Structure 1
Amino acid sequence: MPAERTREHTAPVAAARRRRLRADRARQLADLLRRQVLLQGFPAGLLPHEDALGADYGVSRNTVRQALDLLRAEQLVERVPGVGTVVVGAKYPHGLDRLMGLAETLHEHGRVTNEVRTMAPVPAPAPVAERLRLEGPNTDVLYIERLRRLDGLPLSLDLTYVPMDVGIELLNADLENTDIFRLLEEITGQPLGTAEITLEAVNADAHSAAVLQSPRGAAVLMLERLTHLSDGRPVDLEFIRFRGDRITMRGLLHRSV
């Protein structure tokens, strides 16, 4: 009897472990396939048959199906009857190893346009005044909110704070078609130097989700960036919300010795 009870308890545990291991393998396979999808590694955007993928990666057909289900949930691939699994989504690369505007970064992928939703002088909140090294809280800054699109597709919502002595010149600038980085260099007469960045995932609030046409509560990539002129002066504080399903961050990192 004890042996029978032991088998009764261990059988469900073993089955659960097998399911977990299959889910682990499916996630690992999805990670490998995702890179090929994003780098356009499948001819004509058509993935190999499930059996071929299983043979190539040494996994079962069920594992392949689970991996493809994960990519379908990300809206990167879709199952087309009579055709197979095809690539239907794309992500655009945003470099993290150079200080560039979005239009400069994505110029090979289409045309970036900016819808200026808000632009007005506002009293600087204390954290903004501190980061921009202003005289103190409530010193006026220029606040800009822009919806940025790539070939008409909503890509990011940018909230920007600029010191007023520089921002006053932006009021009449062509922000609809020009990266703010280029305008800042023209206005100040010096190149941009460095930027401090923080990248994290946050849930989209109702306003951001509506503007980006993203599901409410969906994760977005939040890039906080404080940009300095070449003389070290902080001149641009931005909070950029990227649609996580349309952008991928890339960079080349060097290990210092």
Structure 2
Amino acid sequence: MQAERTRQHTTPVAAARRRRLRADRARQLADLLRHQILGGRFPAGVLPHEEVIGADYGATRNTVRQALGLLRAEQLVERQPGVGTVVVCQKFPHGLDRLMGLAETLHPHGRVTNEVRTISPVTAPAPVADRLKLPPRSEVLCIERLRRLDGVPLSLDLTYLPMHLRPALLDADLENTDVFRLIEEAAGQPLGTAEITLEAVNADAHSAAVLEAPRGTAVLMLERLTHLADGTPVDLEFIRFRGDRITMRGLLHRTV
């Protein structure tokens, strides 16, 4: 009787553990397939048959199907009758190991254009003035841009710049020119370093509408404070990237 009671208590636990292990394996396989997809490893954007994937990765058919279901939920792939599982969403690489403007970064993939939504002087919020090392309540130039790659919305950028850069920026072609290049021309020296913070945040109604993304979807928020070569902070940006169209990449070195 004791053994029977033990089986009754442990069976649901064991079943739950098996489900968890299956879900874990599916997630792990989805991670591997996603890397292959984003690396362009599948010719013509068509994934191998489920049996081939299972054999290549040592996974059961159910695990393969669950993994593909996860990738479909991300809208990265879809099932097409008579064809199979195909890639339907392209992500573009954004490097984290070099200080470059978006047009410079994505030049091999197409043409980046900027829709300037606002550009005006504003009183710097205290955290902005502090990070740009400006006196309290200084005026800064605030620019909001929607950035597209070949017409596809990629990011919504909010930028704060010291007012001495205003003449150079107001007279420039901001729709087709990276702000980084304009800053360097106005300052007479190159940019040097940038401090970055990257995190996922839920898109607010405004950001989602502008980026043509579902409301509440997660976006990649990149906060970047850029300095000139002499160390002067010159550009504070809050950039919201569509997470389904950008992937962040970099080469990191371990130092002791």
- Taking structure 1 as the reference length, what is the TM-score of the superposition? 0.98
Contact 1:142/1:168 (8 A) holds in 2: no
Return the offset for 1:2.
2.3
Tell me which moved more, 4-13 or 193-202: 4-13
Whether 2:50 is the aligned partner of 1:50: answer: yes
Equivalences for 1:13-92 in 2 at 5 Å? 13-92=13-92
Alpha-carbon RMSD across the aligned residues, in angstroms, is: 0.8
Answer yes or no: is the 8 Å Cα contact 2:168–2:182 preserved in 1: no
Distance in 2, Cα, partners of 1:3 & 1:225 = 62
CA distance in 2, matches of 1:44, 1:95: 25
C-alpha deviation, 1:144, in angstroms: 0.1
- Structure 2 equivalent of residue 196 of structure 1: 195
Q: Which residue of 2 aligns with 1:185?
A: 184
The offset of 1:4, in angstroms, is 1.9
Matched, 1:162 2:161: yes
- Report the counterpart of residue 99 of structure 2 in structure 1: 99
Residue 244 of structure 2 corresponds to 245
Shift of residue 215, structure 1, vs aligned partner: 1.1
> In the alignment, is the contact (CA less than 8 A) between 2:192 and 2:228 conserved in 1?
yes
Judge which range, 52-61 or 22-31, deviates more. Answer: 52-61
SS at match of 2:108: coil
Which ranges in structure 2 are unaligned for 5 or more consecutive residues? none
Q: List gaps (5 residues or longer) in structure 1.
A: none
**Amino acid aligned to 1:160:** T
List structure 1 segments (4+ residues) > 4 angstroms apart after TM superposition. none
Tell me whether 102-111 or 39-48 shows the greater mean CA deviation: 39-48
> Per-residue displacement from partner, 1:202-251 (whole Å, max 9, x unpaired)?
11111111100111111110000011111111110000000011001000
> What is the distance in 2 between the residues matched to 1:77 and 1:62?
17
Q: Cα offset for 1:9?
A: 1.9
1-side partners of 2:167 and 2:203: how far apart?
31
Q: CA deviation at 1:60?
A: 0.8
In the TM superposition, residue 84 of structure 1 has moved relative to its aligned partner by: 0.7
Q: How many angstroms does 1:167 deviate by?
A: 2.2
Distance 1:229 1:3 in 2: 73
CA contact (8 A) 1:203 1:219 kept: yes
Structure 2 counterpart of 1:25, one-letter code: R
Quick one: which amino acid aligns to residue 209 of structure 2?
A
State how many pairs are aligned. Answer: 256
Q: State the SS of the aligned residue for 1:11.
A: helix
TM-score normalized by the length of structure 2 = 0.98
**Is the CA contact (8 Å cut-off) linking 1:221 and 1:243 kept in structure 2?**
yes
Q: Specify the alignment match of 1:108 in structure 2.
A: 108
Secondary structure of the residue aligned to 1:117 is strand
Structure 2 counterpart SS, 1:75:
coil
1:205 counterpart letter in structure 2: D
Tell me which residue corresponds to 1:148.
147
Partner of 1:129, secondary structure, is: helix
Percent identity reads 81
SS at match of 1:108: helix
Query: Matched residue of 1:23: which SS?
Result: helix
Q: What SS does the aligned partner of 2:248 have?
A: strand
Shift of 1:169: 2.1
